[in-house]
């Protein structure tokens, strides 16, 4: 059993659904998904929020949700609600895996604004 490497997030494998690729503006499988590349498409102003939310989730029990912007290759910004659950090894209490969802809420935010 491989534990989540909380000290070095870049060392963990990352997988996206076909829909996540589309939200980010890529054809499914056409983008090499790594922690670094996912961070690079996150709006620069939202990158600290993402890291801070993950660190807080590790300390408080593993569930977090936040809103952030992704920047597509064509420059269009999409707003997503990202919700993530961190699962822990019951024997050791160490973080085991992270599973998340992203919902594109761009149109909702445009209507609200």
Q: Is residue 101 part of a domain?
A: yes
Structural domain contains residue 96: yes
> Six-digit token pair at 15?
């997988």
Q: Would residue 100 count as lying in a domain?
A: yes
Q: Is 4 domain-assigned?
A: no
- Interstrand relation of 63-71 and 95-104 (parallel, antiparallel or unpaired): unpaired
When divided into structural domains, the chain yields a total of 1
38 lies in some domain: yes
CA dist., res. 77 & res. 105, Å (int): 11
> Residue 57 is part of a domain; what is its CATH number?
3.30.450.20
pLDDT tens for the 113 residues of the chain, in order = 455 666 666 677 788 999 999 999 999 998 888 878 888 999 999 988 877 777 777 777 778 888 999 999 999 999 999 988 888 888 988 888 888 899 999 999 999 98
Q: pTM for the whole thing? A: 0.81
User: Does residue 76 lie in a domain region?
Assistant: yes
Nearest-angstrom CA–CA distance, 46 and 85: 19
Q: Is residue 1 part of a domain?
A: no
CB-side exposure of 98: number of CA atoms within 13 Å? 25
Range of the domain at 107: 9-112
- Cα 31 to Cα 33: distance, rounded to the nearest angstrom: 6
| Domain assignment of residue 57, yes or no | yes
């Amino acid at each position: 059993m491989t534990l989540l490497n909380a000290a070095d997030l870049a060392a963990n494998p990352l997988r996206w659904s076909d829909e996540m690729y589309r939200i980010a503006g890529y054809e499914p499988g056409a983008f090499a998904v790594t922690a670094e590349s996912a961070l690079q498409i996150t709006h620069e102003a939202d990158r600290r929020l993402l890291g801070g939310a993950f660190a807080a989730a590790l300390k408080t029990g593993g569930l977090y949700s936040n809103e952030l912007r992704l920047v597509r290759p064509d420059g269009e910004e999409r707003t997503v609600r990202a919700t993530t659950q961190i699962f822990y090894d019951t024997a050791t209490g160490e973080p085991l895996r992270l599973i998340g969802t992203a919902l594109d809420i761009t149109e909702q935010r445009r209507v609200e604004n």
